[in-house]
Structure 1
Amino acid sequence: MDVEQSPTRERRTSFVVLLLGAGTLIGLHATNLLPWLLEGSVLSLLLGLAGLGGVILLLALQVVHYADALAIRLGEPFGTLILTGSAVVVELALIASTMGSGEANPTLARDSMFAVLMIALTGIKGISVFEAAREQEKTLREPLQDSDLAAMNIGGSITYVNLITTISVLALIVPNFTTQTTEANFNGPGNVVLIGAALGLFSVFIAFQTGSYRGLFTESREQRQWLGAADGGHEGIPEVAPAVAWLAAGLLILVINAESMGELIEASLNGLGLRSAIGGTLVGLLVLAPEALNALRAASRGQVQRSLNTLYGSVLSTLCLTVPAVLLIGELTGTKVILGLDPLEMVLLGLTLLLIRPTLGKFTQLDGLMLLVVFVFWIALQVI
């Protein structure tokens, strides 16, 4: 979908996507299709997974389209907040459905959160940084000067990275060193402290981000100068109320379909005898589909900070909201939840957090390539 398409075509496309999603939902639950897929051959299971994944991707495209429209109407950072909040809803639906189906998978939440972190901060950010730098550098003189490079708003970026570092270490590394339990998790009081820290930090951050610190999360002065003062206005952009309605409808159908997706993912892993970490990677890919599209689109336009807001916001909301939710779900369902990463993953997390720390607030294509190397290395480790 394109934000600037005609209103009639836009409504028609949105209606068709919603109809396809609703039809898929009815077909899975009003017939024996879902049980047949879950109990059938591995081939039919994979075909069902691919088909449902395609429908969810179309719904995700609709969500990102209207989130993009809201970002233009409301300004940053409200648009990306809506988008990242939508992604967390999708992730929780996938994790909750998978936790409640099939064999217990105590590391699913950890694996999906780590996958979201690695995909967003190394894969998508690597491509976005490379694309933003390439787009800006190709129109400038050589040799390039520091003032020519794509620029982030360093104040907001440092705040994001510091928060992501704090919560990721507390939730994914510290559990490995606690003496409260014999496994990589906390006991009841420890979980209460972690939940309070995650929700408290996130609440305070949102209050500042949408209040007195809002200017830290808009494009830097250098980037605004490169982009130009004109933003094209709001011509052809959906109004706020219709955009919210279409986004909510698409998100609702997507979340309900995601429950079936979780069951298919769990059954596929069991049928193929694959590592449980791959399930977390699949969840992460589905969750990040809207953000990935939004971030890449913004980067291709040279909107560096908007791209970073989308990626960093997604990771931060995933950590701060998913951790409390899965701990509560685990408590209610009696499912054990393991948060601590394996040693190799802790090293990759440390390297990623080191590479994303802002230095001079400028980007080159080499910065993107370094992140992509880490991403490819991590992906390779999932399959070998």
Structure 2
Amino acid sequence: MITRWTVFVPLLAVVALLLTWGRNLPGFGVVVVASALVGAVLAAVYHAEVVAQRVGEPFGSLVLAVAVTVIEVALIVTLMISGGEKSATLARDTVFAAVMITCNGIFGLSLLVGALRRRVAEFNAEGTGAALATVATLATLSLVLPTFTSSKPGPEFSPAQLAFAAVASLLLYGLFVMVQTVRHRDDFLPVEGRGVVTEDALHGERPTVRTTLLSLGILLVALICVVGLAKVVSPAIESGVASAGLPHAAVGVVIALLVLLPETLAAVRSARRDQVQISLNLALGSAMASIGLTIPALAVATIWLDGPLVLGLGATQMVLLAITVVVGVLTVVPGRATLLQGGVHLALFSAFVFLAASP
């Protein structure tokens, strides 16, 4: 069940981390570390999939989403610690980028692949709609309201407001997980025609307990390597963005793209297997975890972070978020989508990427 590269790559990442920690790297060294970082991310998500296959859906999508969010939080905090005041908007930019990538990029690509296979991509509107509503609420509480609050100058929360947003985000995410995995689990399983696909039809032979525990251990090692290697390569990411003449917000986009690339591949594979619902669970679950877990983690991190924490979105970003929510609702309500809906979401994703590079 476990392939050799998924064991060797994390071990190589550990070696790379030990050899490069605390050192200034030349160009070749940056390439090597970046390759090890990407390999560690891919290995982490692979082992998360093994664990997910053991626990079944929708727990599987939840495992992947949480694993990816741990990586994202680690990268954000690492870069904010080393970046000082110039990284004040990094958390906002990364979380917003994650929302746009998942709710438009992964969402649209999954619908496109599903519609290409069966002309119409079918999914469970009840579960997907609940997930989209939760993402919209979390994004508004954490990313839109700071622009309009007046207790503190600028698009920032006061300490009390940040604590409220963190607790509300964590509770809302926990409530959704309970609904997804316990009370209304069937709403998040794939559909075939008008029926819900059973779990036996979703999985072949499941991995053994021993294999699952081994994958869980390697997953933890890979995540630690991601955190450490991100710290090592972070100066190169920021200098590369600056030398390309891109705004500093592009750093957040790069982080989100790096973290969510394996998630994208997993969603596309599910869509190709006619399991579009799993793809949408991955997309919206990652967006939800990105906000619901990142904001509380950053609220705690502000205890030792020196610089400000800017969370409020600008006007252009709020417009993109608003149209994403409206289009998402119109896509989800029928419970089925064609190539057109997938194309619309991908067009919004393209607009986000273009405007991030050319605001």
| Structure-2-length-normalised TM-score | 0.91
Alpha carbons of 1:343 and 1:227: their partners in 2 closer, same or farther (altered >3 Å)? same
Equivalent residues in 2 for 1:99-114, closer than 5 Å? 99-104=80-85, 105-114=87-96
Seen in structure 2, the aligned counterparts of structure 1 residues 49 and 231 have a Cα distance that, compared at 3 Å, is same
Which of 231, 245, 250 is the matching residue for 2:222? 250
Aligned pairs (5 A) from 1:44-83: 44=27, 48-83=29-64
Letter in 2 for 1:234: E
Deviates more, 1:373-382 or 1:152-161: 373-382
2:196 is equivalent to residue 196 of structure 1: no
Q: CA deviation at 1:375?
A: 1.2
For residues 6 and 338 of structure 2, what CA distance do their matches in structure 1 show?
A: 37
Q: Name the structure 2 match of 1:209.
A: 180
C-alpha distance in 2 between matches for 1:101 and 1:286:
19
Partner in structure 2 of residue 3 of structure 1: none
What secondary structure is seen at the aligned counterpart in 2 of 1:76? coil
Give 1:50 deviation, angstroms.
Answer: 4.4
Alignment of 1:328 onto 2:303: no
Indicate yes or no: 2:10 matched with 1:18. Answer: yes
Which of residues 349, 352, 359 in structure 2 aligns to 1:378? 352
Query: Conserved in 1, the CA contact under 8 Å of 2:155 and 2:310?
Result: yes
Is contact 1:72-1:234 (8 Å) kept? Answer: no
Report the identity percentage: 31
The 3-state SS of whatever aligns with 1:35 is: coil
Give the distance between the partners of 2:303 and 2:199, measured in 1 at CA: 52
CA contact (8 A) 1:70 1:240 kept: yes
1:117 aligned residue (99, 102, 125): 99
Mark the CA change 1:349 to 1:124 in structure 2 (over 3 Å): closer, same or farther: same
| 1:303 aligned to which of 271, 275, 292 | 275
Match of 1:185 among 150, 156, 161: 156
2:226 counterpart letter in structure 1: L
Q: Is the 8 A contact 2:58 2:185 kept in 1?
A: yes
Q: 1:152 aligns with which of 111, 116, 123?
A: 123
Note the alpha carbon deviations across 1:176-197, whole angstroms, 9 max, x for none: 1111122011111111211111
Deviations 1:74-112 (A, max 9, x none): 111111111111111111111111111134211000000
Aligned twin of 1:35: 24
Q: Deviations over 1:37-56 (max 9, x none)?
A: 4xxxxxx3xx5554433222
Matches of 1:53 and 1:36 in 2, distance apart?
Answer: 11
Deviations along 1:220-279, whole A, 9 cap, x unmatched?
252767999745621678832222223222222222222223333234344555311110
2:317 equivalent to 1:345: yes
Q: Check whether the contact 1:269–1:276 (CA below 8 A) recurs between aligned residues.
A: yes
Alpha carbons of 1:267 and 1:128: their partners in 2 closer, same or farther (altered >3 Å)? same
Could you say what secondary structure the match of 1:239 adopts?
helix
TM-score (norm 1): 0.86
Distance change in 2, residues 1:223/1:50 (3 Å): farther
Counterpart in 1 of 2:78? 97
Does residue 84 (structure 1) correspond to residue 65 (structure 2)? The answer is yes
**Structure 1 counterpart SS, 2:100:** helix
Partner Cα separation in structure 2 for residue 232 and residue 109 of structure 1: 37
**Higher Rg:** 1
Give the aligned residue type for 1:12.
R
Amino acid in structure 2 at the alignment position of 1:203: G
8 Å Cα contact 1:49-1:265 kept in structure 2:
no
2:258 counterpart of 1:259:
no
Aligned residues: 354
1:69 Cα shift? 2.3
Q: Which amino acid aligns with 2:12?
A: L
Shift of 1:207: 1.9
Instruction: Name the structure 2 match of 1:129.
Output: 111
What per-residue deviation string (whole Å, max 9, x for no partner) do you get for residues 307-327 of structure 1? 011111100011111112223
Is 1:219 equivalent to 2:212 in the alignment? no
Q: C-alpha displacement at 1:70, in angstroms?
A: 2.4
Distance across 2 between alignment mates of 1:53 and 1:286: 10
Check whether the contact 2:190–2:196 (CA below 8 A) recurs between aligned residues: no
What 5-or-longer segments of structure 1 have no aligned partner?
1-6, 38-43, 138-148
Q: Which residue of 2 aligns with 1:140?
A: none
- Give yes or no for the alignment of 1:367 onto 2:341: yes
8 Å contact kept, 1:115–1:284: yes
Name the CA shift for 1:11/1:207 in 2 (closer, same or farther; >3 Å). same
Change (3 A) 1:95 1:163: same
Once the two structures are TM-superposed, the CA of residue 21 in structure 1 deviates from its matched residue by: 0.9
Q: 1:314 aligns with which of 265, 274, 286?
A: 286
Equivalent residue for 1:172? Answer: 143
* 1:81 partner letter: L
Quick one: which of 315, 336, 354 aligns to 2:326?
354
SS in 1 for 2:303: helix
C-alpha spacing 1:231/1:340, structure 2 compared with 1 (3 Å):
closer
- Given the superposition, is the C-alpha separation of residues 338 and 264 from structure 1 closer, same or farther in structure 2, using an over 3 Å criterion? same
